Structure 1
Amino acid sequence: MDTSSHRRDLAIWAYAFGYFACYAPYSALTKALSSGWLQGMTRGISGFELLPATTLASLVGMFVFLTVKGWWRYAHRRTVFGLSVPSPGRWTFLSGLCSGAIIGTTTLAYTFDGTSIVFMMLLMRGGVLVIAPIVDAVSQRRVQWPSWVALGLSLGAVAVATGPGADWRLSLAAGLDLAVYLLAYFFRLRAMSRQAKSDDPAVSIRYFVEEQMVATPAIVFTLAVLALVGEGSVMTDIRQGFTDFFVRGRMLEEVSIGLLSQGTGIFGGLILLDHRENAFTVPVNRASSILAGVLATAVLSVWLGERGVDARELMGALLVMIAMGVLSIPTLTQARRARAAAGSPTPPVSGQGQG
């Protein structure tokens, strides 16, 4: 394994730390703001009210990141009115729409009354773990036995967290949010497997840029249209999200949520675009977010006196972590064999001595 390939294989762990570092404050702040737990708040800000400000902040964060990195040059180009501009392909456009749906549903997931951060994470992360080997199978990638073992562990984690006696309050809105989240992840992972799982880093960066330039703008556009329609409680909340941003007195927190959300999108996307199979990259991604969720819940418990992580949720999180470890076995074993082979001395050619 050459030095550049080794660095690229190790980069996923740096991305995982970045994902964790963004996700913990993002989920904790979203829960606290939507529940009205912060000092001076007389009411919580609903998830749909939060979306306009947070997605606008995410849009700015996306543009700044891609500009600072100089990654716009990787995107395909199209001439518009004599100007060459970055343009997504068909698959990256669809994947960007799915990514946008994931961003929106993730923010909403932590705003539903009576549903804990860790419980929603178990459903969302466990669901994506189940999807990973299915996508590999559909993409005609060989699904090894650890994937099926991890599938059972993931389902067991959900069963433990939602079993008899558990607090499994899940409103219809939360259930729909979860369904959209998982469906979007299925199509996104499928598109990545088809177009971006390559040993050429430029291919992955191109996909990342084209997906990012669609995801957040698509959410902002959709929210703006819904705000203009303004019929019903949901659309009214979205309109208030745009119009009351400067009078709610929580500008710093809302902008922070948006920037942290974009951070999770950046680091999470780079993890999933790693050239290795979904059965490796998805566990790395999910492990980071579950650890972040447990930390966020613990911080809210100590800081604001809210309910901490209960035994069922800890057990469910532990099972998911074990599933992640099991899923990682084939790739880790292969990497160890490759390092051993690379370090083995080359046998001397017949008739020649060793210097």
Structure 2
Amino acid sequence: MSEGRTTVRLPSGEHAIWAYAAGYFLAYVPYGLVTKALSEGRLPGAPERVAGLALLPISTAVSAIGMLVFLGASGLWKLAPSVRVAGITIPVPRRATLLSGVCTAAIVLTTTLAYTFEGTSIVAMMLMMRGGVLVIAPIVDLVSRRRVRWYSWIGLGLSALALGDALLGALDARIAPPALLDVAVYLGAYFVRLRLMSRLAKSEPDASHRYFVEEQLVATPIALAVIVAVALLDRGAVGATLAHGLVDLPRSGALGWVVLIGLCSQATGIFGALVLLDARENTFSVPVNRASSILAGVLATALLAWLLGGATPDRGELIGAALVVLAIVVLALGPRIDQRRAAST
């Protein structure tokens, strides 16, 4: 790669978060739709159900390739610290971003699995996972001593109300314990990730973009390494299912769909991270991130029902979606209200 290539600068500023949120939404709709439909055997050319674990090897490999192509073609990789080995410049993430990348890898794996548990809808799992991160956000801000503005609290409260339907569902015995364990791992990884972002990145654009590149360089490669290691070393059901996804799935009619899942997964990783790295408090950026994915989940569920005969969103899920729309309105208008107040004083 030429050292003279111009490095792309990512958009920043007060309004950039909404462009990133739109990208997150547009990538999440096909990601959730195809993952759920494939796990239920509803897709053309792939009549058999594909276990969630079997999806991981190829989809994660595609995500890793997509990440390398994106960072390489844009020149963004140059933002990361680097060393020269045999005349070749190699980006080397810092220790803290390495840990954040490990947490992101856990988030990637648990998110994909979340849509494959039998007896749970896309929206129910999303409300548990996204709602849990909403609870974590102000805790991280408190620990990080970041100021939380009034509209962030309102947006947080409205988004958290959408969690109620999922919490009731979690008490239902039909939701399998592995699904709840998946949510717990997801939330623990998010707590550590947000804490590191608050300490190292959410200050000015250069720091945030450098952090973004370093985290991207770590997350999917580590996820892929873990998947391949388990597939090769585990002699139980988990290893066998992963090995099936690694060896047999590429020769099936589902391959094209799994590639699409991987590409959309990486796109959600890129846009989702950029939303969270907004310089404002986590109590602002997390509801924007969570609301985008919840709305995407509702649309994915509706499309699954309309196009492929899946279950339709229930009343509680639609109410939750309406609440996050209201939260988005508050978060979008809040800063403008403050600016007008400041200008009039």
User: Scaled by the length of structure 2, what TM-score is found?
Assistant: 0.90
How big is each residue's C-alpha offset from its partner over 1:230-252, in whole Å with a ceiling of 9 and x where there is no partner?
Answer: 32111111111111132222111
1:46 corresponds in structure 2 to: 51
**Is the 2:57–2:246 contact (alpha carbons within 8 Å) kept by the matching residues of 1?**
yes
Matches within 5 A, 1:73-88: 73-80=78-85, 83-88=88-93
Task: Work out whether 1:188 is the aligned partner of 2:182.
Answer: no
Matches within 5 A, 1:1-355: 8-80=13-85, 83-144=88-149, 153-163=158-168, 169-199=174-204, 201-326=205-330, 331-337=335-341, 340=343
Whole-angstrom CA distance in 1 between matches of 2:152 and 2:13:
24
Q: 1:218 corresponds to which letter in structure 2?
A: I
Superposition CA RMSD, Å = 2.6
Count of residue pairs brought into register by the alignment: 337
Mean Cα deviation higher: 291-300 or 38-47? 38-47
Taking a change above 3 Å as real, the CA distance of residues 323 and 30 of structure 1, as seen in their structure-2 partners, is same
Taking a change above 3 Å as real, the CA distance of residues 325 and 135 of structure 1, as seen in their structure-2 partners, is farther
Instruction: Return the offset for 1:42.
Output: 4.1
Q: 1:25 corresponds to which letter in structure 2?
A: P
Whole-angstrom CA distance in 1 between matches of 2:254 and 2:188:
32
Q: 1:238 corresponds to which letter in structure 2?
A: L
**Structure 2: runs of 5+ lacking an equivalent:** 1-8
Bigger radius of gyration among the two: 1
**Is the 1:19–1:264 contact (alpha carbons within 8 Å) kept by the matching residues of 2?**
yes
Instruction: Return the offset for 1:37.
Output: 1.1
| 1:246 aligned counterpart, secondary structure | helix
How big is each residue's C-alpha offset from its partner over 1:91-145, in whole Å with a ceiling of 9 and x where there is no partner?
Answer: 1101111111111111111111110001111111111111111110010113455
Whole-angstrom CA distance in 2 between matches of 1:135 and 1:332:
25
How big is each residue's C-alpha offset from its partner over 1:284-319, in whole Å with a ceiling of 9 and x where there is no partner?
Answer: 111211111111001011101211111011122333
Counting aligned pairs with the same residue, the percent is 54
**Is the 2:169–2:175 contact (alpha carbons within 8 Å) kept by the matching residues of 1?**
no
| 2:252 aligned counterpart, secondary structure | coil
Instruction: Return the offset for 1:160.
Output: 3.4
Q: 2:287 corresponds to which letter in structure 1?
A: P
**Structure 1: runs of 5+ lacking an equivalent:** 345-355
Instruction: Return the offset for 1:274.
Output: 1.4
How big is each residue's C-alpha offset from its partner over 1:24-48, in whole Å with a ceiling of 9 and x where there is no partner?
Answer: 0010000001111123544211111
Mean Cα deviation higher: 233-242 or 329-338? 329-338
Whole-angstrom CA distance in 2 between matches of 1:238 and 1:161:
29
| 1:85 aligned counterpart, secondary structure | strand
Mean Cα deviation higher: 204-213 or 74-83? 74-83
Q: 1:13 corresponds to which letter in structure 2?
A: W
Instruction: Return the offset for 1:253.
Output: 0.6
Instruction: Return the offset for 1:210.
Output: 0.4
**Is the 1:130–1:154 contact (alpha carbons within 8 Å) kept by the matching residues of 2?**
no
| 1:308 aligned counterpart, secondary structure | coil
Whole-angstrom CA distance in 1 between matches of 2:159 and 2:278:
22
| 2:89 aligned counterpart, secondary structure | strand
User: Scaled by the length of structure 1, what TM-score is found?
Assistant: 0.87
| 1:131 aligned counterpart, secondary structure | helix
Whole-angstrom CA distance in 1 between matches of 2:169 and 2:101:
39
| 1:9 aligned counterpart, secondary structure | coil
